[in-house]
Amino acid sequence: MAAELFSAAQVIAIKRDKLELSEPAIKWFVDAYVRGVVAEEQMAAMAMAILLNGMNPTELSNWTKAYIDSGTTMNWSALGRPTADKHSTGGVGDKITLPLVCVAAACGLYVPQLSGRGLGHTGGTLDKLESIPGWRASLSETEMFEVLQNTGAVICAANETLAPADRRIYALRDVTATVESIPLISASIMSKKIAEGTGALVLDVKVGSGAFMKTTQQARELAQTMVAIGKNAGVATRALLTAMDVPLGRSAGNALEVAESVEVLAGGGPSDVAELTVRLVQEMFEAAGVMPTKDPVSALTDGSAMDVWRNMIVAQGGQVDAPLPRAKHTHIIRSTEDGYLTKLDALSVGIASWRLGAGRARKEDLVQAGAGIQWHATLGDSVKAGSPLFTLHTDDEDRFAGAVEALTDGYAIGPENEISDRLPLIIERIQ
């Protein structure tokens, strides 16, 4: 057996002492962890040292590259057309990926979208799409290329050869209280997106109670860090900070969000979902350095984005015209008075949806396809006594009590002058 270049304790001590890790040390440490030379407790110690002492841009680029180099990378140059992707840091009612890939493809981009499943109160794109009967998330790279070439867009799960170091470290962070580390968050997101092989990347960094980043300052730091990593790797990258103090659209839950996305693709649906979809598509074209073949707004009204949706779902085995799953039970929460919806908290809505069965507490948990919540008014809307505010959906009636409890302090009815201030939908742009 060949001698190792470093010892794990030696490399950990460098970061513990707030010194700079060299590229060879980082490359060895991550590779040795994947090979089993660096033990779990040693990587846990390194993760905590990074959380406490941070990483400079050079270290972080090298750490991300080590994740990428631990597995395979994809290349879409054979498509002969620009590729672009979007990544969201997650929120409540955030179904933007579903209409976005279709609008972008209808306007001339190829969109290879590797997505994930939800955890906690934030939904996962794959969970939403798996509510469509027959739809497959797991595709081989050949299948992914064929769907992309034939339809212009593909949404699927990342295979296990893509940044495997990140997959292991991600799980470790969850049990070592190091999830919050901005360098580790950034490397995790960007390693998979860079390995995915997209030519341009737009980041949707959510801000507010329903987001991972609660403040604009936190979100800005994360966005700037990820944009720098992307640019250093040669991927045209930019970010939008967008609002997640109030949930997006009018529904949270897997089949419910698919149905709402189809409404948007048909030229209707909630205005905030349509607006953010179009804005992010415009950013994707700017990042890719090409002009769209048509106005993204028109792609939602002329049927071309819907055509992409139907073709993409069918290409992945989905029964595009089949009824979506519906929960066995519903419960309506009604307004007790006339007034205005003066508060609608994204986190409360997300937790309610999760408790109804739309989300999971652990990766191995199952989700209910039809579970979730619809809100019939949004912040600032006028409501009448007896009018429905929320419809709760679940297969298990025992879940209603927990969901109602989560919503209790999440909304309020009052006079117009008590309507809470809200963040603008687009807060800031970082390039």
Q: What pLDDT does residue 305 have?
A: 98
Q: What is the pLDDT of residues 374-397, one digit of tens each?
A: 999 999 999 999 999 999 999 999
What is the second-level CATH architecture of the domain 329-418?
Answer: Alpha-Beta Complex (3.90)
**Of the candidate ranges 128-137, 164-173, 249-258, 314-323, the one whose mean pLDDT is the lowest:** 164-173
Q: What pLDDT does residue 185 have?
A: 93
pTM of the model: 0.94
Q: What pLDDT does residue 171 have?
A: 84
Give me the residue label for tokens 């990347």. Answer: 201
CA–CA dist 413, 384 (Å, integer): 10
Q: What pLDDT does residue 370 have?
A: 97
Residue 2: which pLDDT band, with cuts at 50, 70 and 90? low
Residue 116 has pLDDT above 90, yes or no: no
CA–CA dist 414, 429 (Å, integer): 34
Helix orientation angle between 254-265 and 271-288, rounded to the nearest 10 degrees: 70
Give me the residue label for tokens 């298990």. Answer: 396
CA–CA dist 104, 102 (Å, integer): 5
What is the second-level CATH architecture of the domain 77-315?
Answer: 3-Layer(aba) Sandwich (3.40)
CA–CA dist 7, 235 (Å, integer): 33
Q: Is the dihedral of CA 22, 28, 31, 34 positive or negative?
A: negative
Q: Let me know if 329 is a catalytic residue.
A: no
**Of the candidate ranges 118-122, 128-132, 189-193, the one whose mean pLDDT is the lowest:** 118-122
Nearest C-alpha neighbor of 125 from the set 90, 152, 160: 90
Nearest C-alpha neighbor of 134 from the set 395, 320, 358, 258: 320
CA–CA dist 268, 349 (Å, integer): 23
Q: What is the pLDDT of residues 15-40, one digit of tens each?
A: 999 999 999 999 999 999 999 999 99
How would you class 384 by CB atoms within 10 Å of its CB: exposed for 0-12, middle for 13-18, buried for 19 or more? exposed
Q: What is the dihedral of CA 295, 312, 95, 276, to 10 degrees?
A: -10
Residue of 15, 27, 65, 192 with catalytic role: 192
Q: What pLDDT does residue 275 have?
A: 98
Residue of 15, 27, 65, 87 with catalytic role: 87
Residue of 188, 191, 251, 353 with catalytic role: 188
Q: Let me know if 174 is a catalytic residue.
A: no
Residue of 127, 166, 245, 345 with catalytic role: 166
Give me 52's structure tokens. Answer: 């406490």
What are the residues facing 331 on neighbouring strands?
392
Q: Let me know if 310 is a catalytic residue.
A: no
What's the average model confidence in pLDDT over 262-279?
Answer: 98
Nearest C-alpha neighbor of 137 from the set 156, 110, 124: 156
Q: Let me know if 192 is a catalytic residue.
A: yes
Q: What is the pLDDT of residues 171-186, one digit of tens each?
A: 898 889 998 899 999 9
Residue of 15, 173, 206, 393 with catalytic role: 173
What's the average model confidence in pLDDT over 322-349?
Answer: 98
Q: What is the pLDDT of residues 181-206, one digit of tens each?
A: 999 999 999 999 999 999 999 999 99
Determine the Cα angle at 61 with ends 66 and 119, to 5°: 75
Q: What pLDDT does residue 118 have?
A: 76
Q: Map out the domains of the chain as residue ranges.
A: 8-54, 77-315, 329-418
Nearest C-alpha neighbor of 84 from the set 313, 285, 228, 297: 285
The mean pLDDT of the chain is 95
Q: Let me know if 393 is a catalytic residue.
A: no
Q: How many CA atoms lie within 13 A of 274 on its CB side?
A: 18
